[in-house]
Amino acid sequence: MASNNVPLGRRMVLGAGGVLAAGLTRAAFAQGGPQARVAPITIVINQSPWLDSFRRSVEQYERETDAKVDLDVQPFAGSLEKQRNSVRASRGTADLLVMNSGWFAEMYFGGFVEPIHAIEPGFRLDPEVYTLGDTIYFDADTRTMTPRGRLMALPIAPIVPLTYYRADLYREAGIEGAPLTFAQLEANARRLHRPPRMVGIVQRGARGPHTVAFDFYPYLYGHGGSIFRNQAENDYTVTLNAAEGRTALDYYIRLARECGHPRTAALDQAEVIQNVVTGRAAHMLTVVAAWSQMDDRDRSAVVDKIEFAPTPALPGRPTAPGLGHFVGGVARNIPDDRKRATVQFLAWFQTKDAQIALARHGGMPVHAAAYRDPIAEDRRYRWMKPLAESLRHAVNIYQFPEASEVIAVLELGLNRAIAGEITSVVALNDMARQIHTVMAARGYRTGQAEPLR
């Protein structure tokens, strides 16, 4: 064996002894010194475009504090299952639950998340941290997410969709300004639609865990529609099939059929992004997290050609992107020292400096000050200002634990309408009826609008 041929010199023995001694000293210090107070923690997180930036922030935290953090990285759907399995066990393995907008309500309502102040009564939420539709709070008595409730989590990734558009094609066609209204988006998409080489817009119409529904929210809420009348007031009357909902769905389908991708009903997020980075689509409304792929010279044919804008709305209305964000909550069924260590990480993560560093790592900050930092003027980070504007108006779509059932209804109904299996009216009425059934069965105060005709 090769190792048998390596001469074992005096210098090597001394060197090895030195390394061993240093290691033992460090271990002894870690056991008896101040670092011993910080327990190692495990963060369950999903594989997504912003993961790398989060990982680099975690590494920075480890360097700065000598704490130990393990990232348990799962696919999107797998992350939910992993978290469920952990929080439902008598003793959890996951300390920080990085929860998506589709399931944090399930975790709050189920009593799986420990309120931050129950762990560290002196914890202070930085007032400049985005509360993302107040989804970091939960009032168990009223079953609502408002600042009147307890602080349950801290925002991790402020994911909302933005409009991505080809600024170079806009210049060539003499189109000025970003598409801020639905009329502008449609007109510009039609103008740039040159199939099969270029489609005016590429949309994410496939059925998935939270795919076409998430793509549809900015259209629905941007047209003044909604799924429920007023969740904050516990009014779960289903309003999806009101006139605004129909206008929004008809608009979405019209874009798909007349200036969109011919396979809209089969496209998921990866394919939508693929179409844009290969230069085959002039617009897309997709999560801000995809920005880094646009300027990646190894992956993109549209480097420096993409501009960003808030998702469109009707004239006079603000942008209304649906929140697809992630918040981080501390699991309830873990030892106290791990709870404290997790809160310590969150306290560090919310600081302005950590958030600016996160942006430099390619992540989306959750601290408003980061968007005023000179970094936001850097061309590489040109998505930051549209994102800051979008976050002011972002809509929290679900405040109840049965969200996954409602999402499943929307995924199927919207996909069938986009695929042309059923009309928009049939789809909206059918989805509204099914959502009403779900909410009524769970005892929510609900009702239905008159069916569309």
Partner 1 sequence: MWRWATLSPALVLLLALGLLPVLNLVVLGFFDVRWADGRASWSFVGTRHYAALAGDALFGASIANTMLFALGAVAGQMLLGFALALLCSKVTRGRVFWRALFILPVLMPGIVIGAMWKLLLNPDFGAIGQLFELVGLQPVDWLGNARIALFSVVLVDVWHWTPFCFLLFLAGLESLPRDVYEAATVDGADAWQELWHITLPLMWPTIVVTFVFRLVLAFKVFDEVYLLTGGGPGTATEVVSFTIYQRFFTEDRAGYGAAMAVAVIFLIFLMLAAAAAARRRVQAA
Residues that bind partner 1 (CB under 8 A): 77, 80-81, 84, 87-88, 106, 109-112, 206-209, 211, 262-263, 265-268, 271, 274-275, 278, 280, 332-333, 404-405, 408, 412, 415-416, 419, 421
Q: Which of 350/446 has CB closer to partner 1?
A: 446
State the minimum distance, in angstroms, from the CB of residue 124 to partner 1. 27
Q: Which of 241/355 has CB closer to partner 1?
A: 241
State the minimum distance, in angstroms, from the CB of residue 35 to partner 1. 31
Q: What span, in angstroms and rounded, lies between the C-alpha atoms of 263 and 420? A: 11
Q: Which of 114/373 has CB closer to partner 1?
A: 114
Q: Which of 136/272 has CB closer to partner 1?
A: 272
DSSP string, 383-432: THHHHHHHHHH-B----STTHHHHHHHHHHHHHHHHHTSS-HHHHHHHHH
Q: Which of 112/291 has CB closer to partner 1?
A: 112
Q: Which of 252/371 has CB closer to partner 1?
A: 252
Q: Which of 250/268 has CB closer to partner 1?
A: 268
- 3-state helix, strand, coil split of the chain in percent (to 5) is 50, 15, 35
Q: What span, in angstroms and rounded, lies between the C-alpha atoms of 387 and 371? A: 9
State the minimum distance, in angstroms, from the CB of residue 418 to partner 1. 8
State the minimum distance, in angstroms, from the CB of residue 207 to partner 1. 4
Q: Residue-wise over 378-399: b if at least 16 C-beta within 10 A, else e? A: eeebbbbebbbebbebbbbbbb
State the minimum distance, in angstroms, from the CB of residue 252 to partner 1. 15
State the minimum distance, in angstroms, from the CB of residue 234 to partner 1. 17
Q: Which of 207/338 has CB closer to partner 1?
A: 207
Give Dmax (Cα) for the chain. Answer: 90
- Find residue 46's DSSP bridge partners: 74
**Residue 447 parent element (H or E):** strand 446-448
Q: What span, in angstroms and rounded, lies between the C-alpha atoms of 251 and 182? A: 9
State the minimum distance, in angstroms, from the CB of residue 55 to partner 1. 24
Give the angle subtended at the CA of 247 by the CAs of 242 and 253, to the nearest 5°.
Answer: 125
Look at residue 118 and give its three-state secondary structure.
helix
Contact 309, 144 (CB under 8 A): no
State the minimum distance, in angstroms, from the CB of residue 92 to partner 1. 10
Q: What span, in angstroms and rounded, lies between the C-alpha atoms of 40 and 389? A: 37
Q: What span, in angstroms and rounded, lies between the C-alpha atoms of 319 and 313? A: 5
Q: Which residue has the tokens 């085959």?
A: 280
